[in-house]
Amino acid sequence: MFARRTSGLAGAVALALALTACGSSDSDSSDKAKEKEETTREFTVGKEKVSIPAHPERIVATGYAVPTLIESDAPLVGISSWKRGEPMMDTEEKATYDKLPKVAGELASETNYEAIAEAEPDLIILGVPIPVLGDIDMKRLKSIAPVVAVGPMVPSEWREVSRQHADAAGVLKNYEKSQGEYETKAAGLKTKYADALKGLKFGHVGSYGDTSKGTFQREFNGSWGTNAAQDVGADYVGKPKNPGPGSKSVSEYPSMEELPDSLGTSDVITYSVNADGSVPDAVQAVLDSKLWKNLPAVKNKQAFPIAFTEAATYGDAMKTLDAIDKSLAPLLNK
């Protein structure tokens, strides 16, 4: 009798231990799955889903991602060079830019994979234009850390692209604050200039012409020098004669002799200048041309410089709006 009870008790204890062990195993698995879910998230890049840190702590950024993530105070440990944006950075942003290790040059082909690995990132955000993404060894980068590759097809897409960069980096709140300030300012200027710009055909001379080849850059809607002015209400009519991929769909490079044909019907002409107001050589060559001086818009004193035309963040584009407001002010008195 006693032996039978002891045997039954031992069996009950064994069963309880087995059930406890099983429950513990299930609980551990559930906790691990939950922990993984909390520390990572799926981020959509085009048609691809990438598992990235939910709260990245060490980010490497290149291209268009650099100014956005500096401005949004992301946890950067390495960046590419971004010389074109240096004149637009404030003192604090420039100090951050200068002290961060440069793990890539201006071009996608100048990526230093060893330097990126040494930075030990937990996330890599590429902001190179889509047409040159092929210059990147993606397999090698992905062996270092998760990669989010989002770049613009055309210059004006910096808005959508920069938002994705900020989202991936976990600094969307800071980004949206700058976006709101820009959109409020742009809406105010659009109202201010609504009557003055109504029906006017705009043309723009960009800073990427090649003086050695005797060409200038004509920009249309969606390009570097035009997209912020569009937010104010300017319409850069027309399109490239021979459009191509990327920026070639919103700009072209005619010969200097084609100035009258290219800009002769423009009511207003804007042109890119440097942040300090000086004129780039490619633009100065146009301004010095006799053909320029004979354009109707120039004769009517309706040719205006615009600084900060290469803005690629909402903070920088606020400076562009100020420059546009200052330059187009004479149109309010027409």
- The pLDDT tens digits for 158-190 are 999 999 999 999 999 999 999 999 999 999 999
Expressed as residue numbers, the domain containing 321 is 185-333
In eight-state DSSP terms, residue 280 is P
**Amino acid 8: pLDDT:** 46
Same domain, 202 and 325: yes
Residue 83 has pLDDT above 60, yes or no: yes
Residue 159 lies in a domain: yes
As a whole number, mean pLDDT of residues 63-92 equals 96
- The pLDDT tens digits for 238-280 are 999 999 988 999 999 999 999 999 999 999 999 999 999 999 9
Residue 206 lies in a domain: yes
Residue 104 lies in a domain: yes
Cα 241 to Cα 238: distance, rounded to the nearest angstrom: 9
Residue 176 lies in a domain: no
As a whole number, mean pLDDT of residues 77-92 equals 96
Residue 277 lies in a domain: yes
Better-predicted residue by pLDDT, 34 or 134: 134
Residues 120 and 58: beta-carbon distance below 8 Å: yes
Residue 37 has pLDDT above 80, yes or no: no
Same domain, 79 and 165: yes
| CB burial of residue 91 (10 Å; 0-12, 13-18, 19+) | exposed
As a whole number, mean pLDDT of residues 84-103 equals 96
Residue 179 lies in a domain: no
Same domain, 79 and 154: yes
**Amino acid 27: pLDDT:** 53
- The pLDDT tens digits for 110-161 are 999 999 999 999 999 999 887 788 889 999 999 999 999 999 999 999 999 9
Q: List % helix, strand, coil for the chain (3-state, nearest 5).
A: 55, 15, 30
**Amino acid 15: pLDDT:** 39
- The pLDDT tens digits for 184-242 are 999 999 999 999 999 999 999 999 999 999 999 999 999 999 999 999 999 999 999 99
Last residue of a domain, one of 170, 205, 223: 170
Residue 33 lies in a domain: no
Give the CA distances from residue 310 to residues 162, 192, 250, 253, in Å, rounded to whole numbers and listed in that order. Answer: 14, 24, 14, 18
Give the CA distances from residue 120 to residues 38, 105, 114, 142, 176, in Å, rounded to whole numbers and listed in that order. Answer: 21, 19, 10, 12, 28
Rg (CA), the chain: 28
Q: Determine which helix (DSSP H) or strand (DSSP E) holds 326, and give its type and residue range.
A: helix 314-328
Cα 119 to Cα 125: distance, rounded to the nearest angstrom: 13
Cα 334 to Cα 330: distance, rounded to the nearest angstrom: 7
**Amino acid 131: pLDDT:** 78
**Structure-token pair, residue 136:** 């990147």
Contacts of residue 198, defined as CB under 8 A and 6 or more positions apart, other chains included, come to none
**Amino acid 14: pLDDT:** 45
Instruction: Kindly report the pTM of this predicted structure.
Output: 0.86
Phi, psi of 113 (to 5 degrees): -65, -35
Tokens 């976006």 — which residue? 179
Cα 152 to Cα 224: distance, rounded to the nearest angstrom: 12
CATH number of the domain within which 122 lies: 3.40.50.1980
Last residue of a domain, one of 139, 170, 201: 170
Confidence bin at 334 (pLDDT 50/70/90) = confident
Residue 25 lies in a domain: no
As a whole number, mean pLDDT of residues 20-38 equals 53
Confidence bin at 12 (pLDDT 50/70/90) = very low
Q: What mean pLDDT value characterizes the chain?
A: 90
Cα 167 to Cα 149: distance, rounded to the nearest angstrom: 13
**Amino acid 17: pLDDT:** 38
- The pLDDT tens digits for 305-332 are 999 999 999 999 999 999 999 999 999 9
Number of domains in the chain: 2
